[in-house]
Structure 1
Amino acid sequence: MTVLMRNQSARSEDLDIRSMNFGKFRSSLTFRIVLYICALQIFSFVAMFALSLVIGTNFIEGKDRQLLDAKLTEYESVLKAEGLKAIEARIEDQKSTKVDHEFYVRVLKLDGSLDLKQLPYDLDDFDESKVLTELSVFRGPKKSFELHSPTSWDDRFLGFSKQIDSNTILQVGKSVEDWEDFTNHLYKGFLKALLPFTLIGLLGGYLIAKRSLRPVRSMIRTMQLVGNGTTSERMNINKTDYEFASMVDVFNQMLERIELLITTMRDSLDSVSHDIRTPLTRIRTRAELALRGPTSEEDYRSALEECIENAAELSIFATTVMDISEAEAGTMKLDLVDIDSHQLLSEVVDLYDIVAQDAQILLEIEQDSEGVTFRGDRARIKQAVANLVDNAIKYSMRDSDVYLKAERVGGSVRISVRDEGMGIGPADIHRIWEKLFRADKSRSLPGLGLGLSTVASIAVAHGGSVKVESRVGEGSTFFFEVPS
Structure 2
Amino acid sequence: MRLKKLSDQRHTLAFRLTLWYATIFTVSSFLAFLIFYLTAASVVQGRTDEEITEEIAEFSHILRSEGIEALKKEVRNETEAEDTGEIFFRIFNSDGSAIIESDLSSWDPTEINETALNQLSRDGEPVFGTYHLPEKPYPVRIVYAKIGQTFVLQSGIVLDDETRIMAVFKKVFSATMIIVFFLATLIGWFMARRALSGVEEVTQTAWQISEGAFGQRVPVKNRGREIEQLAHMFNHMLDSIQKVIREMREMSDNIAHDLKSPITRIRGMAEITLTTANSLGEYEKMAANTIEESIYLLEMINTMLDISETEAGTDQPDLTRIDLAALVREVCELFEPLAERKELTLTVHAPMTLNIYGDLRKLQRLMGNLLDNAVKYTPVSGKISVSLSENETGGLILSVRDTGIGISETDLPQIFERFYRCDQSRSKTGSGLGLSLVRAIVKSHRGEIAVRSHAGHGSTVTITLPRLSTP
User: What's the counterpart of residue 78 of structure 1?
Assistant: 62
* SS of alignment partner, residue 165 of structure 1: coil
In structure 1, stretches of 5+ residues that fail to align are 1-16
- Residue 169 of structure 2 is matched in structure 1 by 186
Q: Residue in 2 aligned with 1:288?
A: 271
What is the rounded CA distance, in whole Å, between the counterparts of 1:49 and 1:186 in structure 2? 10
Work out whether residues 447 and 463 of structure 2, in 8 Å CA contact, stay in contact via their aligned partners in 1: no
Aligned residue number for residue 24 of structure 1: 8
Which residues of 2 match residues 206-355 of structure 1 at below 5 A? 206-237=189-220, 241-292=224-275, 295-320=278-303, 334-335=316-317, 337=319, 339-355=322-338
Whether 2:388 is the aligned partner of 1:406: answer yes
Deviation at 1:137, TM superposition (A): 8.3
Whether 1:131 aligns to 2:98 is no
Task: Give the % identical residues.
Answer: 23
- Corresponding residue SS for 1:447: coil
Pick which of 71-80 and 314-323 moved more: 314-323
For residue 307 of structure 1, report the CA deviation from its aligned partner: 1.7
Aligned to 1:204, which of 187, 200, 206? 187
1:386 matched to 2:355: no
Q: How far off is 1:227 after superposition?
A: 1.8
Residue matched to 2:45: 61
State the TM-score, normalizing by the size of structure 1. Answer: 0.79
After the TM superposition, which of the residue ranges 270-279 and 137-146 deviates more from structure 2?
Answer: 137-146
Gap change, CA 1:136 and 1:398, over 3 Å in 2: closer
How far apart are the structure 2 equivalents of 1:62 and 1:381?
92
Contact kept in structure 2, 1:265 and 1:325, CA below 8 Å: no
The 3 A distance-change label for structure 1 pair 155 and 98 is: same
Residue number in structure 2 paired with 1:11: none
Superimposed CA distance per residue, residues 392-420 of structure 1 (whole angstroms, 9 cap, x where no aligned partner): 2224455665321112345453211133x
Return the letter of the residue paired with 1:418: R
Query: Which 5+ residue runs of structure 2 have no aligned equivalent?
Result: none
CA distance in 2, matches of 1:137, 1:265: 93
Distance 2:378 2:93 in 1: 135
Residues 431 and 65 (structure 1), Cα distance of their counterparts in 2 relative to 1, 3 Å cut: closer
Give deviations 1:138-175, integer Å, cap 9, x for gaps: 47434424354451253412313326323x32233333
Deviation readout 1:68-123 (Å, 9 max, x if unpaired): 2232122112211211233345456667866999653332234444333346xxx8
> What pairs with 1:147-186 in structure 2 (closer than 5 Å)?
147-152=131-136, 154-162=138-146, 164-166=148-150, 168-186=151-169
The TM-score, its normalising length taken from structure 2, stands at 0.81
Q: SS at the partner of 2:21?
A: helix
Indicate the residue corresponding to 2:415 in structure 1.
Answer: 433
Residue 316 of structure 1 deviates from its aligned partner by 2.9
The structural deviation recorded for 1:285 is 0.4
Q: 2: CA distance between counterparts of 1:231 and 1:40?
A: 42
Alpha-carbon deviation of 1:391? Answer: 1.9
Which residue of the partner structure matches residue 89 of structure 2?
105
Structure 2 distance, partners of 1:25, 1:432, is 50
Contact 2:116 2:127 in 1 (8 A): no
Shift of 1:65: 2.4
Superposition deviation, residue 286 in structure 1: 1.0
* Residue pair 1:71, 1:172 contacting (<8 A) in 2 also: no
* 8 A contact 1:268–1:322 mirrored in 2: no
Does the aligned pair in 2 maintain the 1:76–1:170 contact within 8 Å? no
- Give the aligned CA root-mean-square deviation in angstroms: 3.8
Taking a change above 3 Å as real, the CA distance of residues 310 and 469 of structure 1, as seen in their structure-2 partners, is: same
Q: Distance in 2 between matches of 1:52 and 1:404?
A: 88
The answer for the alignment partner of 1:33 in structure 2 is 17
Provide closer, same or farther for how the CA distance between residues 49 and 432 of structure 1 changes in structure 2, counting only shifts above 3 A.
Answer: closer
2:448 aligned residue = 464
State the shift of 1:224 in Å: 1.5
Aligned counterparts of 1:149 and 1:306: Cα–Cα separation in 2: 118
1:264 deviates by 1.3
**Matched position secondary structure for 1:154:** coil
Q: CA deviation at 1:464?
A: 1.6
Cα contact 1:149–1:155 (8 A) shared by 2: yes
Instruction: Map Cα deviations across residues 398-451 of structure 1 (whole Å, 9 max, x no partner).
Output: 5665321112345453211133x44437677747826433444x5544334443
> Structure 1 residues 108, 25: CA separation in 2 closer, same or farther (over 3 Å shift)?
same
